[in-house]
Amino acid sequence: MVDPKLTPEVEVLKQILNEIKRISKRLLKIEDSLKVLNTYPGQNGHLNAEERNNLKGTDNSTMPSSLDILDLQESRPGIFKTYRAIQKKENWVTSTEIADATSRSRGLESRYLNYLADNGFLLKKRVKVPGEDKATTVHYKIIGVGE
């Protein structure tokens, strides 16, 4: 547990660490944007929706650090429970499967899974439902597992 009476030096170091994490995430997003431009050179450099969705499913992001995972465990225990549940799965999973594993609602798990995907802990892809024109399901997987 974190001591509530932290010294000012420790507080400054925590702020610096958080800023470095934020900068690192922004640099990864910039790097991904540059990959997109190099992968899909076009007249205007923009992707259509299908190309963006396909690219999300083949993301080659780096695995989160141990420090990121510990920070998640300490600061967001509910989301960490979701992360632990998806760690036990071997392949791509849906929010319904995780909701069954955690005994929480699918909507809540969907929110938590999206948070984890947005913050670099998970890969996310949309998969077309067979026999349906527009229906898709969203699947998640921990970065670095089975790649």
- Confirm if 125 and 138 have CB atoms less than 8 A apart: yes
Alpha-carbon radius of gyration of the chain: 18
Q: Which fold would CATH assign to domain 64-147?
A: Arc Repressor Mutant, subunit A (1.10.10)
Would the pTM count as exceeding 0.85? no
- Whole-number pLDDT of residue 31: 73
β-partners of residue 128 are 136
Q: Dig out the tokens for 87 from the structure.
A: 């760690």
Closest by CA to 21, choosing from 83, 67, 74, 75, is 67
Q: What is the mean pLDDT of the chain?
A: 78
Which has the minimum average pLDDT: 5-14, 59-68, 116-125?
Answer: 59-68
Domain boundaries, the chain: 1-46, 64-147
- How is 22-85 classified by DSSP, letter by letter? HHHHHHHHHHHHHHHHHHS--SS----HHHHHHHHHT--PPPPPHHHHHHHHHH-HHHHHHHHH
Residue percentage of the chain with pLDDT more than 90: 22
pLDDT in tens, 41-94: 444 444 455 555 554 444 445 677 777 888 888 888 888 999 999 988 888 999
The string of pLDDT tens digits covering residues 30-46 is 776 666 555 444 444 44
98 pLDDT band, cuts 50/70/90, is very high
* Average pLDDT of span 15-25: 84
